[in-house]
């Protein structure tokens, strides 16, 4: 899982003095890779990045999990990460290689600029939604079934029943 270091300052500010500030540092959200600034607003579904000698493709955002609350000793950080769509994202290796601390995370390809990770999270937690957004989500190639396709299909079915 990839998480932007720039998110930690925003989360710390949102949580204020209720959560110790020293906890807001990598790997506080259980990330495997910490990048400087490619956060959920800047990274889109299907983006391909060079990382060391590897190439990786963004496959989906991560839903913040309860382990975040365990790390921070409070559910406030989990709620803040969810509310602010600061979830991190998963990548899969498309070209194996080696990665080491300090390697740059360089965008090589962007196929779906209309689908930043932040939009996925807004759609997932939305209480109202549009049919065209759900259909556009389902049209994305290689989108994981769980939870994204499953949730979109459930919502379309509920719209058909209404």
Residue 104 has pLDDT above 70, yes or no: yes
Q: Which of 79, 85, 28, 44 is nearest to 62 (CA)?
A: 85
Question: What pLDDT is attached to residue 6?
Answer: 87
What domains appear along the chain, each with residue ranges and CATH number?
Answer: 2-113 (2.40.33.20), 126-162 (no CATH)
Question: What pLDDT is attached to residue 16?
Answer: 77
Question: What pLDDT is attached to residue 74?
Answer: 67
Q: Which of 83, 79, 109 is nearest to 95 (CA)?
A: 109
- The string of pLDDT tens digits covering residues 45-98 is 999 999 999 999 999 998 877 777 777 776 777 788 888 888 899 999 999 999
Average pLDDT over residues 101-110: 96
- Label residue 105 by pLDDT band (50, 70, 90): very high
- The string of pLDDT tens digits covering residues 107-138 is 999 999 999 999 988 888 888 989 999 999 99
- The string of pLDDT tens digits covering residues 16-32 is 777 777 777 888 777 88
């Amino acid at each position: 899982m990839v998480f932007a270091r720039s998110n930690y300052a925003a989360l710390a500010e949102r949580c204020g003095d209720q959560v110790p500030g020293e906890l807001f540092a990598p790997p506080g959200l259980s990330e495997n890779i910490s990048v400087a600034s490619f956060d959920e607003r800047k990274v889109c579904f299907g983006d391909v990045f060079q990382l060391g000698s590897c190439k990786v493709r963004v496959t989906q955002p991560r839903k913040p999990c309860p382990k975040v609350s365990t790390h921070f000793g409070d559910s406030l950080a989990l709620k803040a990460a969810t509310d602010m769509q600061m979830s991190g994202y998963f990548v899969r290796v498309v070209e194996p290689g080696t990665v080491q601390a300090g390697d740059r995370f360089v965008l090589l390809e962007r196929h779906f600029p209309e689908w930043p990770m932040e939009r996925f999270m807004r759609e997932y937690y939305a209480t109202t939604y549009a049919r065209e957004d759900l259909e556009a989500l389902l049209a994305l190639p290689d989108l994981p079934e769980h939870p994204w396709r499953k949730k979109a299909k459930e919502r379309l079915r509920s719209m058909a029943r209404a």
